[in-house]
Chain A
Amino acid sequence: MGTYWQDERNRGRSDGALGSASSSRRSERDRDPAGAAALAPVIRALSAEPTDRELDGMGPALAAFRARVRQQATGSRRHRVFATLLGAKVGATLAGVAAGLVGVSTVVLVSTHVPGGAQPPGGPAAPAQARPAAVSTTATPHGPDANGPAKHGLCTAWRARSQNPGAQGHADQSVAFTNLVKAAGGANKVAAFCADVLAPGAAGNQGGGKGSGKPTGKGSGKPTKQPGHQAKDDDKATGKPGDVPNGQRTDTPTDEPTDEPTSTPTTEPTDEPTTTSTAEPTDEPTTTAIPTAPTGTPVPQTSGTVEPSQTVVP
């Protein structure tokens, strides 16, 4: 450390432009060697190696450091979660539209193929009422009967939604799902209610497991958007009711399973594909039931316009 002060003296000399510097410089020159010698032990002691006591007590500082790191981590994680939520919301919107279409079409298809005698309310006898019902969309909505032929489609749609947590809010509030929940006796019983319908599907239990837990939580969060989505579903459902059933029906039914999975995943943006792509294929087994009744081609045309009006009622 003696060199340190040596440097200091030199520096003082080199820029010693201060007015009082000259006198002190002389005394410095007179005294410093002895002063430096006397000071050496003090300097050495002041700059001695750290003692244990001085290195003790990092605890509070380290704790504060950890807390700060944790804070930063959660902050950035919050950022990330927000971003993924945003993505999930967009994905859920698209998936909701897709699931709505699929659900509606399956409702249409399935309900038309249930044996006529087994249908209490809106069976083949319904076509006569179809037009009035479609026109009076503003009338009080009653929706499809979940105990009737619509059960299969509703359950399928419900499961599709339940695998899309973001769409729960819409699912809970639509008339169709309200009917389903009512028929099941509660949102958490829908899975059990639908068990027999969905059982044939390989992923039936999957839908049941998820459906039971989630619906209750998110319902209140997004009510404002719901009408919009419903309207969107309405438009698409009522817009081309003739197209969808006809096209699928008259074209080769065997193509459907292969077509749909490839088309729907492309609509999914980023986050969802793993869940929805597994969801969509599970829908398909229900449409493979179609070949059993392709003979009834005339029926779907009429009832095809009926069912959307029923399920779609806002």
Chain B
Amino acid sequence: MIGAEFETVLAGARNGDEDAFARLWRDLNPPLLRYLSLGGDTADEVAAETWLTVVRGLNTFTGDELGWRAWVFTTARRRAVDAARRRGREARLRWHASSWVATVHDCADDVIDTLSTQEAVALVRRLPPLQAEVVLLRVVAGLPVSEVADVLGRTPGAVRVAAHRGLHALADLVDPAGVTPAEAAALRE
């Protein structure tokens, strides 16, 4: 997040300041890539297309930084859907269903503390699509529920439920043995 300077930076980018634009790019490209890697190998390509669209629409955007992020991620999602369409039904299935799981190795044996970003995203990809998207938009993009709902075209309630279930599922993935209720209660005391 850029924070208080966001307005200035955005205005600079609008006026053609390359440094300001670079700052916007550096701020959002990493989360964009992480989110877009839900779709597999096309993340870089789709992110580049997203930025082209963002550059074209730079002057039409109005809003604060949260609105900016929501707008960029909405754009990214559209480009991802386009890319999936281009790649045909197989790719679309990969985007929507969990066939990508095949590429994910089992993290159970890994030392969880040294989990890399890529591995974490790979874990998220094992979730059902909506949950995966919601989790990434919430955690990676840092969007509030209402913005995530806008990006995904869902109700805030549905987003909340998906986030809740997704996090539970993720916790199960990370620690398949799970924590028994008794242990949890013990941990709480």
Report A's interface with B, CB cutoff 8 A: 1, 4-5, 8, 11-12, 18, 20, 24, 28, 30-31, 33-39, 41-48, 50-51, 54-55, 57-58, 60-62, 64-66, 68-69, 72-73
Task: Find out whether the CB atom of B55 lies under 8 angstroms from the CB atom of A45.
Answer: no
Q: B35: shortest Cβ distance to chain A, in Å? A: 10
Task: Find out whether the CB atom of A42 lies under 8 angstroms from the CB atom of B123.
Answer: yes
Task: Find out whether the CB atom of A30 lies under 8 angstroms from the CB atom of B139.
Answer: no
Task: Find out whether the CB atom of B25 lies under 8 angstroms from the CB atom of A51.
Answer: no
A-B contact count (CB 8 A): 127
Task: Find out whether the CB atom of B48 lies under 8 angstroms from the CB atom of A34.
Answer: no
Cα–Cα distance between A11 and B145 once the two chains are bound (Å): 10
B5 within 8 A of A: no
B65 within 8 A of A: no
In-complex Cβ contact of B51 among A31, A33, A43, A60 (8 A): A60
How big is chain B's contact interface, by range? Answer: 35 or more
Given contacts A8-B163, A39-B170, A41-B115, contact A30 B181 (CB under 8 A): yes
Cα–Cα distance between A72 and B25 once the two chains are bound (Å): 20
Bits for B26-40, please: 1 = Cβ < 8 Å to A, else 0.
100110011000000
Task: Find out whether the CB atom of B55 lies under 8 angstroms from the CB atom of A65.
Answer: yes
B101 within 8 A of A: no
Chain B contacts with A in 2-28, Cβ cutoff 8 A: 13, 16, 18, 21-22, 25-26
Residues of B close to A55: CB separation below 8 A: 26, 29-30
Cα–Cα distance between A41 and B25 once the two chains are bound (Å): 26
Residues of A close to B151: CB separation below 8 A: none
Cα–Cα distance between A73 and B15 once the two chains are bound (Å): 10
A54 and chain B: residue at smallest CB distance: B30
Cα–Cα distance between A69 and B18 once the two chains are bound (Å): 9
Task: Find out whether the CB atom of A39 lies under 8 angstroms from the CB atom of B171.
Answer: yes
Residues of A close to B145: CB separation below 8 A: 11
Task: Find out whether the CB atom of A46 lies under 8 angstroms from the CB atom of B117.
Answer: yes
Task: Find out whether the CB atom of B120 lies under 8 angstroms from the CB atom of A45.
Answer: yes
Given contacts A12-B160, A47-B140, A65-B55, contact A58 B22 (CB under 8 A): yes
Q: A70: shortest Cβ distance to chain B, in Å? A: 9
